[in-house]
């Protein structure tokens, strides 16, 4: 897309526009270049802070000169308004599906059929991954993205342009005109990478929301979301793999040449800044080579950043594609080679209800053991009562189970046509299956809970979480031992780990001298773990590792957290209302404080990483920076404040001493003006405070 020289020029321009005033066009060129480096190459050349600075400069210029705003400006991705009902739009060319093949013989047969339809025996095939996401169609007119649509029924789909604009790797502007292209329709797939999928599910889990089943559903569901901002949060990607319609003008020569082949079309799209399978595809002149390539790819399948469910083989020459034509369902010039299924059917034997460490009651399906992708699956979480009801699952059902790569297995659906009438309804218990206390379902939540914090199941799960790898990491005290010790009355709660009666333990089977030494030293070692691990290990609701780290850095001792007001907690980085309330509640509870004190007296580290109150000139003072400062970058100004002993706050409150306001300071300035106690200063005032 960008040559080495262009990259150098744009990098120079970047430094220039970061320092001096720049034109709208310069800022847009530079921002588009950095979007490309970030979203397409995954190789950014500037920091997020620098990107934000550039973005804000463009935003400012556009706010001051609204006549300069264009639809394809990098500032125009983020739609603020919600999607209304999606309008149905006809595709320029029907979006057909692909015929499937499952083995080498199927491909050999297809090759024969193609050869029977094409005028030449010199046929090239291009093979590439078959992406497992949601298909989309994009239209660009006069270099601008004018429409994005879902597949729908293949003839017409939903207009989801606003949501597609949230996907960073979809260019809003691409110089098709350089190739003599006035209008083009492109096909592709919207995906979520496996890594982002996992992160997103962790986020959902921390909010008590059941996880999404797989990256495909995550992508497909995203396209039809009402709120574009939520689409953005899902960090989707789009890979484009087919040009379905093109209108060329008199300058057509350059584009026409590339568009003669599929590989050329991918090259053209790649050169314009799209993500495509250009680097993964290979062109072959025999079907045997195609078969080996597909087989090799299947082996590598799990090493790719996203899910693929097979390969797609296409006749490379567009002229020959036209000679083969299409049926009403699929083109004859392309075929999917499907990888081995990651789905299998099995019988739902029973549903057990498990109580988690926060008391959540999760239905777990026990199924007849079934092999999927080399793993035997016997147990599958059903998340909550709503999921069970939605899928209309019944005991005795034959169910379709899917397990993709490292995604946890899930039940896709019951095969209701195989029902005999003997299947039984799944009845959700009204009482905790462990302590028998009545279950409650808090307002607005999908999960039933046992609220007896002394419920045996919760206590055991809390201990298991406390010793887990990302918490205190006491490996020799695994789940099985904890359950055993608890049953025998040797371990009753978290502090009990540090007063374990080793003499009694050593009498148990499997606890010879060596394992005893391992156990003792692992428990001893854990005493020195950093505070963030202890905080995470305490299992405070909504407090994941990231929040635990923030808390660990904000205090000198964990006990200081008991003195934090709700407001002070909310001022900490990235801690929202729900999380701060949960932390506040936890530290106001005397039982929890008693546990922490017992741990401390057993020698567990409770010291945080808060830098000693600095002796700097800003010591004891709190700061918040807003707007564009005349000389300092936001990040640098914040660093200066901290280096001089100041504390940064993330919102305006009575605890704020100084609001350093630059240009275009918005709501924070307004709020600070209302709260009379805050001093509003400019960059120079701030610099004067730290100058000797």
As annotated, the active-site residues are 130
DSSP for 276-303, please give it.
-STTT-EEESSHHHHHHHHHHHHHHGGG
The 8-class DSSP code of residue 398 comes to E
Answer for the pair 491, 485: CB distance below 8 angstroms, yes or no: yes
Cβ neighbors of 363 (< 8 A, separation 6 or more) are 351, 352, 353, 381, 382, 383, 384, 385, 387, 388, 426, 428
Cα 186 to Cα 22: distance, rounded to the nearest angstrom: 34
Q: How far is the CB of 130 from ligand IVH (least distance, A)?
A: 4
Cα 196 to Cα 244: distance, rounded to the nearest angstrom: 30
Cα 360 to Cα 345: distance, rounded to the nearest angstrom: 28
H or E element: which one contains 57? Answer: helix 48-64
Kindly list the strands in the beta sheet with 658-661, ordered across the sheet, starting from the edge strand earlier in the chain. Answer: 647-648, 622-626, 658-661, 679-681
Which H, E and C letters describe 134-186, residue by residue?
A: EEEEEEEECCEEEEEEECCCCCEEEECHHHHCCCCCCCCECCHHHHCEEEEEE
Which H, E and C letters describe 588-619, residue by residue?
A: HCHHHHHHHHHHHHCCCCCECCCCCCCCCCCC
Residue 349, Cβ neighbours under 10 Å: how many?
Answer: 12
Cα 506 to Cα 227: distance, rounded to the nearest angstrom: 59
**Helix pair angle (456-467, 479-487), 10° resolution:** 140
Report the largest interatomic distance among the alpha carbons of the chain, rounded to a whole angstrom: 90
**Three-state SS for 66?**
helix
| Of residues 626, 625, 622, 660, the one with CA closest to residue 644 | 622
Q: How far is the CB of 312 from ligand IVH (least distance, A)?
A: 4
Look up tokens 């793999």; give the residue.
241
What torsion, rounded to 10 degrees, do the Cα atoms 239, 243, 248, 253 define?
A: 90
Which of 37-54 are b and which e, b meaning 16 or more Cβ less than 10 Å from the residue's Cβ?
bbbbeeeeebeeebbebb
Kindly report the CA angle at 289 between 286 and 293, in degrees rounded to 5? 140
Q: Left if phi > 0, otherwise alpha if psi is -120 to 50, otherwise beta: which for 664?
A: left
Radius of gyration for the chain, computed over Cα atoms and rounded to the nearest angstrom = 30
Answer for the pair 255, 269: CB distance below 8 angstroms, yes or no: no
Quote the distance between the C-alpha of residue 228 and its chain's center. 15
Contacting residues toward ligand IVH, per CB under 6 A? 96-98, 128, 130-131, 135, 187, 189, 241-242, 277, 312, 331, 334, 336
């Amino acid at each position: 897309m960008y040559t080495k020289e262009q990259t150098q020029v744009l990098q120079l321009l970047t430094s220039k526009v970061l320092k001096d005033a720049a034109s709208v066009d310069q800022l847009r060129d530079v921002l588009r270049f950095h979007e490309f480096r970030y979203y397409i190459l995954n190789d950014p050349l500037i920091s997020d802070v620098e990107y934000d600075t550039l973005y804000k400069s463009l935003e400012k210029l556009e706010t001051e000169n609204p006549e300069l705003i264009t639809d394809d400006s990098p500032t125009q991705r983020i739609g603020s308004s919600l999607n209304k009902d999606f309008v149905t739009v006809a595709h320029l060319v029907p979006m057909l599906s692909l015929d499937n093949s499952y083995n080498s013989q199927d491909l050999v047969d297809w090759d024969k059929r193609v050869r029977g339809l094409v005028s030449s025996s010199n046929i090239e095939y291009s093979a590439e991954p078959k992406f497992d996401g949601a298909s989309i169609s994009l239209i660009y007119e006069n270099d601008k993205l004018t429409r994005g649509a879902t597949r729908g029924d293949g003839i017409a789909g939903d207009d989801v342009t606003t949501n597609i604009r949230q996907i960073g790797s979809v260019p809003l502007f691409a110089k098709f005109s350089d190739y003599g292209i006035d209008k083009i329709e492109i096909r592709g797939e919207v995906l979520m990478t496996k890594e982002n999928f996992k992160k997103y599910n962790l986020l959902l889990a921390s909010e008590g929301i059941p996880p999404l089943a797989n990256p495909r559903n995550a992508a497909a569901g995203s396209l039809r979301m009402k709120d574009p901002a939520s689409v953005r949060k899902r960090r989707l990607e789009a890979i484009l793999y087919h040009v379905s319609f093109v209108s060329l003008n008199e300058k057509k020569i350059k584009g026409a040449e590339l568009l003669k082949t599929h590989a050329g079309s991918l090259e053209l799209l790649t050169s314009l800044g799209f993500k495509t399978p250009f680097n993964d595809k290979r062109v072959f002149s025999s079907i045997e080579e195609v078969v080996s390539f597909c087989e090799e790819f299947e082996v590598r399948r799990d090493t790719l950043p996203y899910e693929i469910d097979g390969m797609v083989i296409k006749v490379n020459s567009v002229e020959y594609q036209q000679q083969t034509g299409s049926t009403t369902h699929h083109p004859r010039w392309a075929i999917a080679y499907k990888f081995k299924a990651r789905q299998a059917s099995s019988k739902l034997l029973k549903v057990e209800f498990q109580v988690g460490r926060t008391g959540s009651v999760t239905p777990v399906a026990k199924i007849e053991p079934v092999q999927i992708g080399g793993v035997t699956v016997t147990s599958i979480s059903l998340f909550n009562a709503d999921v069970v009801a939605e899928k209309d699952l019944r005991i005795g059902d034959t169910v379709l189970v899917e397990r993709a790569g490292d995604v946890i297995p899930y039940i896709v659906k019951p095969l209701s046509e195989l029902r005999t009438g003997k299947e039984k309804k799944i009845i959700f218990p009204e009482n905790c299956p462990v302590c028998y206390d009545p279950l409650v379902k808090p307002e607005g939540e999908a999960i039933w809970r046992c609220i007896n914090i002394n419920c045996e199941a919760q206590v055991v799960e809390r201990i298991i979480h406390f010793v887990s790898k990302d918490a205190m990491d006491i490996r020799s005290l695994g789940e099985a031992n904890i359950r055993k010790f608890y049953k025998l009355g040797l371990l009753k709660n978290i502090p009990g780990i540090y007063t374990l009666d080793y003499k009694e333990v050593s009498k148990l089977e499997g606890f010879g001298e060596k394992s005893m030494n391992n156990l003792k030293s692992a428990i001893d070692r854990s005493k020195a773990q950093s505070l963030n691990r202890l905080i995470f290990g305490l299992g405070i609701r909504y407090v994941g590792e990231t929040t635990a780290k923030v808390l660990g850095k904000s205090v000198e001792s964990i006990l200081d957290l008991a003195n934090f007001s709700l407001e002070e907690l909310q001022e900490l980085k990235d801690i929202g209302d729900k999380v701060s309330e949960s932390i506040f509640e936890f530290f106001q509870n005397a039982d929890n404080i008693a546990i922490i004190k017992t741990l401390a007296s057993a020698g567990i580290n409770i010291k945080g990483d808060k830098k000693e109150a600095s002796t700097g000139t800003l010591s004891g003072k709190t700061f918040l920076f807003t707007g564009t400062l005349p000389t300092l970058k936001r990040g640098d100004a914040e660093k200066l404040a901290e280096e001089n002993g100041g504390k940064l706050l993330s919102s305006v409150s009575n605890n704020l001493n100084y609001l350093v306001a630059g240009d275009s300071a918005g709501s924070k300035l307004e709020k600070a003006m209302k709260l009379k106690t805050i001093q509003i200063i400019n960059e120079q005032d701030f610099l004067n405070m730290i100058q000797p």
